[in-house]
Amino acid sequence: MKSFGLFVGLLLAVGIRAAPSKDCEHNVKEAVTPPRGWSKVKPAPADHLIELRIGLPQPKFAELEQHLYEISDPFHERYGAHLSKEEVEDLIAPHEESVSAVDEWLADYGFASHELSRSPAGDWVKVRVPVSLAEDMLKTEYHVWQHEETGDAIVRTTTYSLPVHLHGHIDVVQPTTTFARLRGMKATYHYADEQDFIVDIAQPTIPIPSALNGQVNASCNASITPTCLRELYNIGNYTPQAADVNKIAATGYLDQYANFEDFHDFFAKYVPEATNATFDVIYINNGTNNQSLAAAGVEANLDTQYAFGLSYPTPATFYTTGGSPPFIPDDTTPDNTNEPYADWLAYILSDPSPPQTISTSYGDNEQTVPYSYATRVCKELAQLSARGVSLIFSSGDSGVGDGDSDPATQQCFTNNGLNETKFIPAFPASCPYVTTVGATWYIPEVTYYISGGGFSNYFARPWYQELAVPHYIKNLNTTYEGLYNASGRAYPDVAAQGQFFWIFDGGDNSQIGGTSAAAPTVGGIVSLLNDARLANGLPALGFLNPLIYAVGAILPDAFNDIVGGSNPGCGTEGFTAEVGWDPVTGFGTPNFGKLLDIALGNLGGLLEF
């Protein structure tokens, strides 16, 4: 059999030599309708350089997913047995045949195999080519597209083709059809004077049974500080013990710079015992972190101040990834591929010891990310999760809507060519291998109506949601039937406060909200749980969702359930927050004290099920 295989392989190689694959018949690999709001400006300059990323299939991904689910299932004997970088790479390596088929195709265009830039597992191949050559390779035409509202301009196409024999050897080629904009998910941003909040001296605290000592300072109702979150989420004075091994990180994109002076002012005022705290900055793909106060980024400041403020003294890292700003139509600088997730993922997957907790507050409508590309990005998030990283994402700030217009009046259209009215899920919030965070506000906590929630059209419902989600859908009866995908991965998984957060930004003490505030809050809390586990000689929590859904079903008071309120959008009232899990606030907000017990293995009945 072996020599027969070799013989066929030789024949194939000879065949390809005789008829270069570039001259083979091409079939369309992917075609998209550009999302609303983008218009075609002009043909892309022929000499504009783009970095083509070619994704080879990962035939053993199902095996990787099974490992991931076993090691993150609290009932499984392998719970916490995270995979090494090498084990993950072995599980995503492409077939030899795919590697040689792609190499031969690229050789036809003059790229020698040893000149190609490859990911460690070989599942991505990168080549820098002028638009004219990419157009020839992919039998397509690139254009400059502009976003009408923001003026963002990018070089993209709506369809591309590949030689027929390569369809099974290439999953995806980008940048081609991705129009996502990777928005920061902040909702509102307003300056406010702290004196505006008159604390009712007669009622200095609000009774909240789940809070620390059952009380929360009354000022926290419209004024969130790290102290408020420590009271409300029952963190108290938990002090990290594993700062030698535990790490936390926040990601930054879109020229969002985390400012050290703002960070210092924030700590001096709100975390005074940590006044001189700082964080590392890692620059990816020529990302920068301009320290001019005028360049400070409100999203980056919010994310770093809260994620790192809650987890201090855990060592903290801010990743600033270039790749955006978007391409400027008349500029032909080579290093702007505008695929920042891919750049960050390539970096972090090559890190032998990534931070155990990483918070991200960026995303876009799922439908603006082509299916093939979203699937690849999601699979890379699975790889990180399998390494034992807890990935926290914000759920979006537009309820069930698409965030492109007034939620009350907006109609939400699909861009699948059918222009149907549907709820619009967000990505990466919809990826089943990450933990997605919705938002609450006020004390006692209620649903914050902006809280992004819904059901993926790309990713099927994962096993860990098999109890909670069908239960919710059943109670919906026929409400919104046809507007959401009942078989999709549902989100968010949990929630946290998402409004009135005090930050320092550009030298000003101001307030901000959004699921962007909720995600770093959960990130900080998860990092403290990881600290407790590491300090006790246990592995980090890693991927959280199987644990969250088990706890939500069996030990529901580990989360403060939010009931009532909804997340309007697309001209509807959106989903309603119900008892237990719902696609508005997930299982609710964390009770750190209870989660700490669970994280340390005091599962209180969990294992009897």
Ligand X SMILES: *[C@@H]1O[C@H](CO)[C@@H](O)[C@H](O)[C@H]1NC(C)=O
Report the residue number, 224 or 603, with the smaller CB distance to ligand X: 224
Q: Which stretch binds ligand X (CB under 6 A): 243-251, 355-363, 399-407, 469-477?
A: 469-477
Site for ligand X in 114-173 (CB under 6 A): none
Amino acid at 300: A
Tell which one of 27, 275, 278, 353 touches ligand X (CB under 6 A).
Answer: 275
CA angle 77–81–83, rounded 5-degree value: 140
Shortest approach of ligand X to residue 478 CB, angstroms? 8
Amino acid at 587: F
Q: What one-character-per-residue DSSP string does 99-150 give? A: HHHHHHHHHTTT--GGG-EE-TTSSEEEEEEEHHHHHHHHT---EEEEETTT
The answer to whether 516 is a known catalytic residue is yes
The answer to whether 299 is a known catalytic residue is yes
Q: Is residue 295 close enough to count as binding ligand X by CB under 6 A?
A: yes
Report the residue number, 105 or 575, with the smaller CB distance to ligand X: 575
Using DSSP bridges, classify how beta strands 390-394 and 362-365 pair: parallel, antiparallel or unpaired: unpaired
Which residues, 6+ apart, have CB-to-CB distance to 288 below 8 Å? 255, 257, 320, 322
456: alpha, beta or left? (left if phi > 0; alpha if psi -120 to 50)? beta
Shortest approach of ligand X to residue 285 CB, angstroms? 5
Q: Which stretch binds ligand X (CB under 6 A): 79-87, 119-127, 146-154, 473-481?
A: 473-481
Report the residue number, 459 or 559, with the smaller CB distance to ligand X: 459
Beta-carbon neighbour count of residue 204 at 10 Å? 11
Tell which one of 39, 66, 292, 350 touches ligand X (CB under 6 A).
Answer: 292
Q: Is residue 475 close enough to count as binding ligand X by CB under 6 A?
A: yes
Give the integer Cα–Cα distance in Å for 376 and 378: 5
**Which of 123, 262, 303, 505 is an active site residue?**
303
Q: Is residue 459 close enough to count as binding ligand X by CB under 6 A?
A: yes
Q: Is 248 annotated as a binding residue?
A: no
Report the residue number, 3 or 276, with the smaller CB distance to ligand X: 276
122: alpha, beta or left? (left if phi > 0; alpha if psi -120 to 50)? left
**Which of 73, 89, 104, 299 is an active site residue?**
299
- Total site size for ligand X, rule CB under 6 A: 30
Residue 419 C-alpha from the chain's centroid: 26
Q: Is 404 annotated as a binding residue?
A: no
Q: Is residue 457 close enough to count as binding ligand X by CB under 6 A?
A: yes
Bridge-partner residues for 153, per DSSP?
146
Cβ atoms of residues 441 and 513 within 8 Å: yes
Report the residue number, 81 or 486, with the smaller CB distance to ligand X: 486
Q: Is 493 annotated as a binding residue?
A: no
Q: Is residue 419 close enough to count as binding ligand X by CB under 6 A?
A: yes
Tell which one of 39, 117, 353, 479 touches ligand X (CB under 6 A).
Answer: 479
Which of 340, 398, 406, 417 lies closest to 516 in space, CA to CA? 398
Q: Is 262 annotated as a binding residue?
A: no
Which residues, 6+ apart, have CB-to-CB distance to 558 below 8 Å? 551, 552, 590, 591, 594, 595, 598
Shortest approach of ligand X to residue 422 CB, angstroms? 8
Q: Which stretch binds ligand X (CB under 6 A): 451-459, 511-519, 522-530, 559-567?
A: 451-459
The answer to whether 244 is a known catalytic residue is no
Site for ligand X in 351-390 (CB under 6 A): none
Report the residue number, 215 or 241, with the smaller CB distance to ligand X: 215
Shortest approach of ligand X to residue 108 CB, angstroms? 26
Report the residue number, 79 or 267, with the smaller CB distance to ligand X: 267
Which residues, 6+ apart, have CB-to-CB distance to 436 below 8 Å? 393, 394, 395, 429, 430, 491, 492, 493, 494, 586
Q: Is residue 301 close enough to count as binding ligand X by CB under 6 A?
A: no
Q: Rounded to whole angstroms, what are the CA distances from 539 to 81, 124, 202, 354, 397? A: 7, 30, 47, 14, 33
Site for ligand X in 206-245 (CB under 6 A): 206, 217, 219, 221, 227
Cβ atoms of residues 279 and 316 within 8 Å: yes
Tell which one of 460, 482, 557, 602 touches ligand X (CB under 6 A).
Answer: 460
- What is the torsional sign of CA 64, 67, 68, 69? positive
Q: Is residue 335 close enough to count as binding ligand X by CB under 6 A?
A: yes
Using DSSP bridges, classify how beta strands 280-284 and 316-321 pair: parallel, antiparallel or unpaired: parallel
Q: Is residue 285 close enough to count as binding ligand X by CB under 6 A?
A: yes
The helix or strand, by DSSP H or E, that contains position 496, with its residue range, turns out to be strand 494-497
Q: Is residue 252 close enough to count as binding ligand X by CB under 6 A?
A: no
Report the residue number, 66 or 290, with the smaller CB distance to ligand X: 290
SS3 assignment, position 87:
helix
Using DSSP bridges, classify how beta strands 143-147 and 38-43 pair: parallel, antiparallel or unpaired: antiparallel
Catalytic residue set: 299, 303, 516
Interface with ligand X (CB under 6 A): 199, 206, 217, 219, 221, 227, 275-276, 285-286, 290, 292, 294-295, 335, 413, 419, 442-443, 457-460, 475-477, 479, 485, 487-488
Q: List the binding residues for Ca(2+).
A: 561-562, 580, 582
Q: List the binding residues.
A: 561-562, 580, 582
